[in-house]
Amino acid sequence: MKFLSTKATCNSHGQDSSYFLGWQEYEKNPYDEVRNPTGIIQMGLAENQLSFDILESWMKDNPDAAGFKRDGESIFRELALFQDYHGLPEFKNALVDFMSEIRGNKVSFDANKLVLTAGATSANETLMFCLANPGEAFLLPTPYYPGFDRDLKWRTGVEIVPIQCSSSNGFEITQSALEEAYQQAHELNLKVKGVLVTNPSNPLGTTLTREELDLLISFVDDKEIHLISDEIYSGTVFDSPGFVSVLEALKDRNLEDSDVWSRVHIVYSLSKDLGLPGFRIGAIYSNDDVVVATATKMSSFGLVSSQTQYLLSAMLSDKEFAINYIAENKKRLQNRHDMLVSGLRNAGISCLNSNAGLFCWVDLRHLLNSNTFEAEMDLWKKILFQVKLNISPGSSCHCTEPGWFRVCFANMSEETLLLSLQRIKAFVASIAPVQSTRSNTHLRPMGHSRRMSLSKWVFRLSSHDYEPER
């Protein structure tokens, strides 16, 4: 170890978060309908697998694109050779048009202000490198995506200061929460360089209100800092209220010629809306020419392959396909969302009202044996090892209230989701036979016999060695 760098030997990657540890346990014992029907079902992965048939149908009908041909002639050699890191112009044009379509064409995007990256992970980290120095801070509203602790901090040295949001108002961002986070950063001797939000929210599955957007814009304008709007779930909004991009909010306030215009940046990806995380398509959109130029240079460390760009430029340029896909995908997401919410309700479990995303923010506070994060972890271990469901504890998302969990619904078949609901319903019935008569906002201690039967699981939280013991 002494011959390695401090980066290689430090424990700041965030891999020991329960968010990642649950994935590791799933990989040891993955559910399979035939080969392993008692395995762990993955409900901690925000993947959209509901509309693959639409994509596959398009590729079948467009063999030239999938076969790297143009007008029937192979362009394999052209795509195989070195490509400029600015990206293929036809793909960037198709991507910005798709982004506008998702937003109801209320805003338009300039392809010259778009930087391609290898996924949104790379886009967010690149923006950190462009906007902040090591030891400076970004404010993030809680709860937030657990991967941000890795994506924003690990290699950049940038710090995260939480904006504490509460279930009392549906976890909406408030002026007082923003000011308190800003003050906390200064008390920690951290210079605040900006605010980063996800809209729609991961893990809440909600869109920012117009009031929240206006509040954020005014706040960063007043503090003379940046605002990053991670909008990778913008095409998953399946119910009202609709999605409002930060760019739309800026234009509605006629701020195109203001200083704040160049300090607002958007992150996008095709990982969620098209369900293509393996294609590694991310993007930064900025009105700051220096940010665009610097991010473009940095993108050479994580380029998108020319083959991928060629295929998707053909797909997204098909306007009829794009419009139909967006509409149909939203219908499927809403149906699957409603199935999860209804099934959980039948088990006596409620969720935060949501209108977007690939997951629900689920309230299991009534199943805790105490109002503590230790109790939350204990409940999570039982659900992971006994119920065989991998869900994400709210503490991994830096939620300030124990008992909330993120549960994903779009990365599995309908049959697997129904099985998951059967498992959780049986679990709730076994530990809380009268919980349906209790309010979800009150904690009910578990009976002693139940507690003894379920507390046999011992969990060693380590990034390299952890397993359940009987």
- Please identify every residue annotated as catalytic: 145, 230, 232, 272
* CB contact at 8 A, 357 and 351: no
Q: Which helix (H) or strand (E) holds 197?
A: strand 192-198
Beta-strand pair 159-163/226-230: unpaired
- The letter for the amino acid at 394 is G
Q: Strand 392-393: give its sheet, edge to edge.
A: 350-351, 359-363, 404-408, 392-393
Phi, psi of 466 (to 5 degrees): -155, 135
> For residue 367, what are the contacts with CB-CB under 8 A and spacing of at least 6?
379, 403, 428, 431, 432, 435
From the list 444, 373, 404, the residue with the least C-alpha distance to 167 is: 404
Coil, strand, or helix at residue 283? Answer: strand
* CB contact at 8 A, 273 and 236: yes
Please tell me the distance from the alpha carbon of residue 368 to that of residue 327, in angstroms, as a whole number. 39
Four-CA torsion 25, 30, 36, 40, nearest 10 degrees: 60
What's the chain's Rg over C-alpha atoms? 23
- Please state the length of the chain: 470
| Cβ-count burial 339-354 (b if 16+ within 10 Å, e if not) | ebbebbeebbbbbbeb
- The letter for the amino acid at 414 is E
Please tell me the distance from the alpha carbon of residue 70 to that of residue 83, in angstroms, as a whole number. 17
Please tell me the distance from the alpha carbon of residue 220 to that of residue 297, in angstroms, as a whole number. 27
DSSP E strand stretches across 321-432: 350-351, 359-363, 389-390, 392-393, 404-408
Q: Please classify residue 373 by burial: count the beta carbons closer than 10 Å to its beta carbon, then call 0-12 exposed, 13-18 middle and 19+ buried.
A: middle
SS3 content of the chain, % helix, strand, coil (to 5): 45, 15, 40
Please tell me the distance from the alpha carbon of residue 220 to that of residue 209, in angstroms, as a whole number. 17
Please tell me the distance from the alpha carbon of residue 128 to that of residue 130, in angstroms, as a whole number. 5
